[in-house]
Amino acid sequence: METVLYTDLGLIPYREGWDVQEKYFNDMVQAKLSLRTHPDAALPPHRLFLCEHPHVYTLGKSGSMDNLLLNEDELLAHDIEFYKNNRGGDITYHGPGAIVGYPILDLERFFTDIHKYMRCLEEIIIRTLADYGIAAGRIKEYTGVWLDPENPAKARKICAYGVKCSRWVTMHGWSFNVNTDLSYFNNIIPCGIKDKDVTSLARELGHKVDMAEVKTILLGKFEEVFGCRLV
């Protein structure tokens, strides 16, 4: 069973969270490359970071700037940061009340299938929502976790995903709307999808949710899905 080191970074600026990921991601990649000449060298541990970010829009490398509906002056006026980054996917919003997860995993010690990896990340949130009595699932054409996925008119996304993987080492991850202020999604076309809404756990339940409780449940589901141990 693989061990994953877990850290809660709390509320952290997006750039700082990205820098933390880059450090451990690069350490893992370089360590794997060094195995060519030092096959007995120990690899760094897997890591999982959870955090929240101040208001920020992030655009994946395959995304379109057309999906950001604010200009630079409007971003400043609303006190919202914006970053283009090196993950997959299009534009999304992170803010207080959203649990952002950044797994830095060496998939060669789990499985070498990026599509399976994405489905595993989705499964963690699907199982977490089930503990709150909410049925969630997937839409074939899109990544993410959706409510009412079988009903195009009502389908709404509650968790967005975008990852990077190099030499089977992962970074970036998910943004799970728990107590998120959903009005910030009005300034973007979320994930480039024009005909679908977004939602949050609080909206679905009709009340704010204890973030620490959600994290505890989510961490347990992470262990279940990946068959690992968080320490």
Q: Which amino acid is at 148?
A: D
Average pLDDT, integer, range 180-208 = 94
Q: Which of 160, 154, 158 is nearest to 198 (CA)?
A: 158
pLDDT digit string, tens, across residues 66-121: 999 999 999 999 999 999 988 988 999 999 999 999 999 999 999 999 999 999 99
In a domain, 113, yes or no: yes
Averaged over 206-226, what is the pLDDT? 98
pLDDT of residue 48 exceeding 90? yes
Structure tokens at 66: 């057309």
Q: Is residue 132 part of a domain?
A: no
| φ, ψ for residue 37, nearest 5 deg | -105, -20
Residue 114: inside a domain, yes or no? yes
pLDDT greater than 90 at residue 151: yes
Tokens of 113: 């299938």
Burial of 42 (C-beta count, 10 Å sphere; 0-12/13-18/19+): exposed
Owning domain of residue 190:
3-121+163-194+222-230
Question: Crossing angle of helices 114-130/211-226, nearest 10°?
Answer: 140
- How many domains is the chain partitioned into structurally? 1
User: Can you give the length of the chain in residues?
Assistant: 231
pLDDT at 200 over 90: yes
Residue 154 within a domain: no
Average pLDDT over residues 29-57: 92
Q: Is residue 200 part of a domain?
A: no
Active site residues: 191
At 193 the pLDDT is: 87
CATH number at 32 reads 3.30.930.10
Contacts of 230 (CB under 8 A, 6+ apart): 3, 4, 5, 6, 48, 219, 222, 223
Coil, strand or helix at 104: strand
Q: Do β-strands 156-166 and 98-104 pair in parallel, antiparallel, or remain unpaired? A: unpaired
Does 227 score more than 90 pLDDT? yes
- For residue 130, tell me if it sits in a domain: no
For residue 153, tell me if it sits in a domain.
no
Given a contact cutoff of 8 angstroms between Cβ atoms, the answer to whether 1 and 231 are in contact is no
